[in-house]
Structure 1
Amino acid sequence: MTAAAITGIGVAAPNGLGTADFWAATLRGESGIGTVKRFDVGDYPSTLGGEIDGFDPADHLPQRLIPQTDRMTQIALAASDWALADARVESGTYDTHEMGVATAGAFGGFEYGQKELDALWTGGPEHVSVYMSFAWFYAVNTGQISIRHAMRGPAGVVVSDQAGGLDAVAQARRNIRKGSRLIVSGGLDSSFCPYGWVSRMRGGTLSTSDDPSRAYLPFDVRAQGHVPGEGGAILIVEDAAAAQARGAHSYGEIAGYGATFDASPRYGGEPGLRRAVEAALADAKMAPADIGVVFADGWGMPHDDRIEAETITAVFGPGAVPVTVPKTMTGRMNAGGAPVDLACALLSLRDGLIPPTINVRTVTAGAEIDLVIGEPRPWTPGAALVLARGIGGFNSAMVVSPAA
């Protein structure tokens, strides 16, 4: 069966703009979480977020694109440029119909939407931008990336919250297996505006701490919610044989994937995360002992952390595999969170270092997991498992392994 390799990575995260800066900050345990600055959060119970500093779209995009696009799309376009450059993909590398795009979205262009709703309210319909027709849409990143890079092959978007990033990369692998040579995949989200903030707060899972070192503590006895983040990662998923033929570097291959959906507890439903993990291992033709590290979802809510810890313990055994949650440095980035974890897993394969989980001091009782705390941990690179869970019951698991 056709192997799918990841040959390019472009990360935009609160603790690093660009893959190299992000990875260096992550290995240092450097957080990008602080008081939100893009709008006044003084009257909101949750005031902390992982914001990307120093991103000016004019530094990365043609001027004509800026008024057409929301911040999340501007960041996604920049990250796709970085990922394609990293993969050394140029015009003519493949036929335009052999390349496509599959991204994940959760919020869409909330900031753009709020701006235009304000214009409608204060000035009337004639003051609303014509670009509102698509700039708010959760599929807009796929469309804009396709147009910018003349990719006329398969295109799509997946909407499954934090799990969506893995689901989109899995869709990219399906398209590679169907004959595409290259798919731009991953996801980004940014909704740091009152409209987006209130939407997040409705879930009841945001931390209300105003201390960045105490606000987001997955698996910790003090866990009380999570912190939102903005950003994500774009990954270049490529036919492994075609990539090898053109001399491209491969960070690793997508070895296995599984996804499930939690039925409502009131109907007797049970959490489906374990089934997703087992499906991913079966797809990869691997045993639990073949996995060298787990990049956990780390919701930061005691109930959800318990389910994830119990799943990891049930599959691998108590403390049998290192577990890490590097998103403690960025916050939960919705559709962008899992692609960043995938990027971390692939960079861990390259460098032989597992990034740390920061700020966690005491793992909650009953969570029998070997959490990597404080500083990076050396490991012998092998297969890595990435977990992601989305609001509403989405569960996804993906195994990545060194390039064959």
Structure 2
Amino acid sequence: MSDKAVITGIGVATPNGMGVEDFWSATRIGKNAIGPVTRFDASAYPARLAGEIRSFTAEDHLPSRLLPQTDRMTRLALVAADCAFEDAGVRPGDIAEFDMGVVTASTSGGFEFGQNELQRLWSQGSQYVSAYQSFAWFYAVNSGQISIRNGMRGPSGVVVSDQAGGLDAIAQARRQIRKGSRLIFSGGFDASICPWGWVAQIAGGRLSTRTDPERAYLPFDADANGYVPGEGGALLILESERSARERGADNVYGEIAGYGATFDPRPGSGREPGLRRAVERALADAGTSPDEVDVVFADAAGTPRLDREEADAITAVFGPYAVPVTAPKTMIGRLYSGAAPVDVVSAVLAMREGLIPPTTQVELSPEYALDLVVGQARTTSVRTALVLARGYGGYNSAVVVRSGD
């Protein structure tokens, strides 16, 4: 029996597109969606740009009873889950409830919901705080709400490892498929563009303070000044290859073929960061050699030190200029736990079309020996992709995605 975990459905919501086709039509041409923050007045803050989803109205997609109990990130995730089911050609009742599970990632939880309820507590008193505050802010709420809404009672959970979490959750989903589950939802969503969330992000010291959207988020550029945050993410339906074949799945986008994760050593230890080892473990897990990888989707932190570490890891494994590298997140910002699942979506769509999406706005610094795809997309065959993600605090994750053909 095959234990391959294949992607059969996608739900994606990003600043440059809602749904697979809208997202890809914008990403493949390098459409920039970064701009001034509009969800609150950010004029007094040092960072004032974000990738916002401006075309989303939850009331158009969800029943009114869910709105008072959900944060923006959960509303986006619930709609993405509906889209993924439709994309996969599966209805929740088609598979036994204990054969379906949900594993998501989260970086901040429902920050905006939490902020609103704290404001009510401070300004009006405890009797005005919503009872839903007890879970709407929580990291695991997306897994919980998706499973409840769709009657999914199989293995479920949440992973909290910042930007690396999206890949860690997908790897956990693959693990559950290999243990016998038929279908697992996985991915990540974050949406913390609110004053409370903004202060927390600024405190991390890695946000770009530039005001020009075209020159704010510049990984691997000599002018790199930090990253621009964004909101959104992606959810994937993973199934065993056998299960997908038995039910006659229309879409098999690709296979989650390999995974590796490491932690960075203690700062100041003089030891090498852990990203290279994560890449090597993912390749070994997939049974893939470096020369079989057609593209690397970079984490692209956008700070000189972290860009240097990532470039060094890539060149150590593949050699100088030996593999195309891209970071389409420069169009939308870093989506925290949602970022890497979106890159996985980009990877399988790149395989479908034979096109590597570009890293926009960036002028590659000559100090990096990378074949960075800049300016416009590159037409080429893509059958194997490597997706990288690093989280604040030293998390490193890598996933190998292989074509489903």
Normalising TM by the smaller chain, what interval? over 0.9
* Matching residue of 1:349: 351
1:208 aligns with 2:195: no
Question: How far apart in 1 are the matches of 2:169 and 2:283?
Answer: 18
1:210-231: CA deviation from partner (whole Å, max 9, x where unpaired): 0000000000111110000000
Task: Return 5+ residue gaps in structure 1 as ranges.
Answer: none
1:246 aligns with 2:247: yes
SS of the residue 1:187 aligns to? strand
1:367 aligns with 2:368: yes
Task: Return 5+ residue gaps in structure 2 as ranges.
Answer: none
Q: Which letter does structure 2 place at the counterpart of 1:145?
A: I
Question: How far apart in 2 are the matches of 1:370 and 1:305?
Answer: 14
Choose from 315, 324, 327 the match for 1:325.
Answer: 327
* Matching residue of 1:12: 13
* Matching residue of 1:275: 277
**TM-score (normalised: structure 1):** 0.99
* Matching residue of 2:110: 109
* Matching residue of 2:120: 119
Alignment size in residue pairs? 403
**TM-score (normalised: structure 2):** 0.98
SS of the residue 2:134 aligns to? helix
Judge which range, 132-141 or 88-97, deviates more: 88-97
* Matching residue of 1:309: 311
5 Å-filtered alignment, 1:196-235, equals 196-235=197-236
Question: How far apart in 2 are the matches of 1:366 and 1:313?
Answer: 12
Q: Which letter does structure 2 place at the counterpart of 1:101?
A: V
5 Å-filtered alignment, 1:18-57, equals 18-57=19-58
Question: How far apart in 1 are the matches of 2:303 and 2:145?
Answer: 35
* Matching residue of 2:404: 403
Question: How far apart in 1 are the matches of 2:285 and 2:357?
Answer: 26
SS of the residue 2:235 aligns to? strand
* Displacement of 1:402: 1.1
Question: How far apart in 2 are the matches of 1:342 and 1:116?
Answer: 34
* Matching residue of 1:68: 69
Q: Which letter does structure 2 place at the counterpart of 1:288?
A: P
* Matching residue of 2:297: 295
* Displacement of 1:84: 1.1
1:291-329: CA deviation from partner (whole Å, max 9, x where unpaired): 000000000001100111111111111111100000000
1:134-171: CA deviation from partner (whole Å, max 9, x where unpaired): 00001100000000110000010000000000000000
1:129 aligns with 2:142: no
SS of the residue 2:268 aligns to? helix
Q: Which runs of 4+ in 1 moved over 4 A?
A: none
1:17-56: CA deviation from partner (whole Å, max 9, x where unpaired): 1121111011121111000001000100000000001111
Question: How far apart in 1 are the matches of 2:334 and 2:92?
Answer: 34
CA RMSD of aligned residues (A): 0.8
Question: How far apart in 2 are the matches of 1:366 and 1:375?
Answer: 21
* Matching residue of 1:92: 93
1:261-318: CA deviation from partner (whole Å, max 9, x where unpaired): 0121233442000000000000001110010000000000011001111111111111
Question: How far apart in 1 are the matches of 2:401 and 2:246?
Answer: 21
1:138 aligns with 2:145: no
Q: Which letter does structure 2 place at the counterpart of 1:373?
A: V
